[in-house]
Amino acid sequence: MPDTSTWDALPHRLPDWFRDAPLGIFIHWGPYSVPAWAEPTAELGAIESDLGWFAHNPYAEWYFNTIRIEGSPAAEHHRQVHGDAPYDDFLDQWETTAFDPAAWADLFRRAGADYVVPTTKHHDGVTLWDAPGTGDRNTVRRGPKRDLVGEIASAVTEAGLRFGVYYSGGLDWHVRPTEPLVSGEDVNDRCRPRDDEYGKYCSAHVRDLIDRYQPDVFWNDIGWPDENFHFGQGGLGELLEHFYTQRPEGLINDRFAGAHQDFVTTEYQAGEIPEGQPWENCRGVGLSFGYNQVEDAAQYMSAAQAVRHVVDAVSKGGRVLLNVGPRADGSLHELQVAALEGLGEFMAEHKVHLAGSRGLGELRLKGVEWARAVEKDGTCHVFLSGDAGEITVAAQDLPTGFAWPEVGRTVTLAGEENAPVAVSAPAADSAPTAG
């Protein structure tokens, strides 16, 4: 990378809106939503080695790659069901007859989200708007015949939410085709395009997204072409400068191969929570980001699990970008909707305690399976989950410096299939007794 001082001069931002946003919504939607198939194996990070991960990839949005791995279950499925049809056939078959962006945005708002980040180009290279240089390989010219990015952006903004864009800068299996990717080394190093020409192609896309849709989050994936790490015309540096100039409250993630970042991302169980840095965990309601017709209740999070996941991240200083994968027609799976609806019921009461809070982390409490704590405006909020019934929580086991009852308190747990219950107490020097 050239002149590091130039990169260091770029802004580093954590705008108030993001600091106070415990929840965002991710959307993975593309031609892969037509076959909608992946082997539901395990969460990313739950398997120590990536050996065999790509042949058994649970991410339906990776269908283009997985079906090219000889012997993979996806390749066999594709052969039997789709007769080895070219991937781009799914773009032409993609119809969005049930797509209601206003209904999506309303659901996301009711779930307690503050921002929404749809995929604008995933690794298959298909853009969900009429991106420059894509010819007819986009959703405006083929398939849906719609500017899906624009429709989502308008609906999200009208619902009072922040809009962001996901863009795959690191991979494009159409513009820069490769052999099937079968390892992490393939993805992040050996097969990743590095040339400046491809970087300028990506830069033109993202600049167009910025100018058309005014996103407040630029969420890149799988790095960026190394030769495009410059501040010349069409370079990544110039692009980031343009983004910050146009979007004063905008911020970017950390997936630029170390060039620049405003916050760190983890994915499912993969990645380390950074010390003293803002961070975000992304994951699907199920095992896949793109819709996977194979998944059912065994893979989908319940509402209670979604609540615990959000509270856990906030208690550790982070936030969650929770993904929905629409069906090809634009409808959302009933279990995805149920998880968001249940999450919304909890957030309607407790988002005020989570937004802008200071994470106090995990607690070990007798008789409680799961406990997390945050502090907001001088009050400690402890969230508890476990087998239904009454328990007595000892004051000495709770965070210090707050006015908990000296002899402990009785709490009625709702059971692990329900959202955690909360107990609160003000700072010890602000009130004589617990709230």
Written in H, E and C, the secondary structure of the chain is CCCHHHHHCCCCCCCHHHHCCCEEEEECCCHHHCCCCCCCCCCCCCCCCCCCCCCCCCCHHHHHHHCCCCCCHHHHHHHHHHCCCCCCHHHHHCCCCCCCHHHHHHHHHHCCCCEEEEEEECCCCCECCCCCCCCCCECCCCCCCCCHHHHHHHHHHHCCCEEEEEEECCCCCCCCCCCCCCCHHHHHHHCCCCCHHHHHHHHHHHHHHHHHHCCCEEEEECCCCHHHCCCCCCCHHHHHHHHHHHCCCCEECCCCCCCCCCCEEEECCECCCCCCCCEEEEEECCCCCCCCCCCCCCCCCCHHHHHHHHHHHHHCCEEEEEEECCCCCCCCCHHHHHHHHHHHHHHHHHHHHHCCCEEEEECCCCCCCEEEEEEECCEEEEEEECCCEEEEECHHHCCCCECCCCCCEEEEECCCCCCCEEEEEEECCCCCCCC
Q: What is the pLDDT of residue 48?
A: 73
Over residues 367-395, the pLDDT tens digits come to 899 999 999 999 999 999 999 999 898 88
* Cβ atoms 394, 366 nearer than 8 A: yes
Tokens standing for 150?
Answer: 């624009």
Average pLDDT over residues 52-69: 96
Look at the chain and count its residues: 435
Q: What is the pLDDT of residue 432?
A: 41
Of 171, 267, 180, residue with least CA distance to 223 = 171
Flag whether pLDDT at 318 surpasses 80: yes
Tokens standing for 432?
Answer: 């004589």
Tokens standing for 319?
Answer: 């936030």
pLDDT band at 431 (very low <50, low <70, confident <90, very high): very low
Q: What is the pLDDT of residue 434?
A: 35
pLDDT band at 4 (very low <50, low <70, confident <90, very high): low
Average pLDDT over residues 276-296: 97
Average pLDDT, the chain: 94
Q: How many CA atoms lie within 13 A of 418 on its CB side?
A: 11
Average pLDDT over residues 105-124: 98
pLDDT band at 50 (very low <50, low <70, confident <90, very high): confident
Over residues 147-163, the pLDDT tens digits come to 999 999 999 999 999 99
Flag whether pLDDT at 72 surpasses 90: yes
Strands 421-426 and 379-385: antiparallel
Residue 49 CA to residue 42 CA, distance in Å, equals 12
Residue type, 101: P
pLDDT band at 240 (very low <50, low <70, confident <90, very high): very high
Q: What is the pLDDT of residue 47?
A: 80
* Cβ atoms 408, 393 nearer than 8 A: yes
Q: What is the pTM of this model?
A: 0.96
pLDDT band at 29 (very low <50, low <70, confident <90, very high): very high
* Cβ atoms 363, 340 nearer than 8 A: no
